[in-house]
Structure 1
């Protein structure tokens, strides 16, 4: 598997009032092209900071980041990323189809091309019937599906997801985990998914990068050898519970 993202000895320090805080300490990892990986750890361990460094939204105070042979900044300018945030960032005054088409509009694509692509993405996320609804008329889970579709509009090589389902109830979250894998199996881009849920990380991922509590360090890399496609029955399998125990044991200082 060809490397897509490489981080070498990445550290992040920042000032809080008069104190210097070490958020990340010498994190090194490699993510393969087309791989689905999760960054897992407790609150405050630096998961989101690490994701933002990958996306060139933050500059690390130490170490290097390479994305498909480019710097993180070069990759961002080349529009290699799609980003889905914890809360869906949608425009309430634009209907669902128009929200999804917005990146294509900014690119200058003709209206017919934009609408065709938006409808393809709506079909991918199962929301064709809601194309003329406004975001406030949708459930939280449906809004996140719109946000995922919009992030995929530019056909990014890398999809970065920052705890996109954390605000949902457990039933909705598990259903959207299954839907996300269905979308990923059709697109097959590289996905980096931030979560603090061990079962969610196991269900979704090829590998799980476990970060230790503050300061964030790479505590373990756990291979998830469950077969694909993943099914909800796997959540109750002995192997699934074995992986939960293995990841729990890997946390440092817990």
Structure 2
């Protein structure tokens, strides 16, 4: 198995990415010489404190912004080619929903754009809404939902296209701890079936450990890759693992990597 994994080319290859922002008064270095490789079908987290460049790096991968220097290759091509080929599903920190469309219609929007038949996209929408616990809200409008419920709709919509790469920018940060942990488990259940590549941004150490195969730890000001932590817990992950000795050891290891910055 190890030899097989060694031959897998990285699906996302980030090479010495640096990002500078110019302001009226100065130049801000957000990311500095970040290099990392993410394998196909891998679930990784970008972990770090606020201001360390996690979201900036995710947006560079998604081809939403361009780095000052360095490059991103996706499946052997450019990030732009991957975006145009609709390889990405993206969930932002704040949900981006259309208030005049019902919840079900928000979820089906990507499928409509792809020309999927109405009956099929309706079935897929209800399947996804059930998965995120919102099947009862299918006929409501976004403005009738709480912020956390709106984010779950956004997650369902991103999953509708079954993207090869799912980019998630702190999607559960608005939820209470119980809902967050449940959605962690549901996200892994979906991922175990689809086996797409997931890049997940979070500032929660326990969340990163529970979800990920590997955790990339970014240091603050400027964002640099300070550690790569392999998560040595078997899959499927269960809620009981949150109380295991291995889980707490990994928390201590990652906290130690921050202290060493």
Q: TM-score, normalised by structure 1?
A: 0.94
Out of 12, 25, 35, the position equivalent to 1:18 is 25
CA deviation digits over 1:18-66, x for unaligned, max 9?
Answer: 3111110000000011111000001100000000000000100111100
Pair 1:53-2:53 in alignment: no
Q: What SS does the corresponding residue of 1:102 show, helix, strand or coil?
A: helix
Q: Partners in 2 of 1:154 and 1:125 — Cα distance?
A: 16
Pair 1:202-2:215 in alignment: no
Q: Partners in 1 of 2:194 and 2:132 — Cα distance?
A: 11
Equivalenced residues, count: 254
163-172 or 140-149, larger mean C-alpha shift = 140-149
Q: Give, in angstroms, the shift of residue 252 of structure 1.
A: 5.6
Pair 1:69-2:96 in alignment: no
Pair 1:131-2:138 in alignment: yes
Alignment of 1:75-86 (within 5 A): 75-86=82-93
Alignment of 1:79-94 (within 5 A): 79-94=86-101
Equivalent residue, structure 2, for 1:34: 41
Q: What SS does the corresponding residue of 2:217 show, helix, strand or coil?
A: strand
Q: TM-score, normalised by structure 2?
A: 0.92
Q: Give, in angstroms, the shift of residue 123 of structure 1.
A: 4.0
Q: Give, in angstroms, the shift of residue 126 of structure 1.
A: 4.1
- Which structure 2 residue ranges, 5 or more long, are not aligned? none
Contact 2:132–2:183 under 8 Å retained in 1: no
211-220 or 110-119, larger mean C-alpha shift = 110-119
Equivalent residue, structure 1, for 2:182: 175
Q: Partners in 2 of 1:126 and 1:167 — Cα distance?
A: 16
Contact 2:148–2:174 under 8 Å retained in 1: no
Q: Partners in 1 of 2:95 and 2:190 — Cα distance?
A: 17
Equivalent residue, structure 1, for 2:197: 190
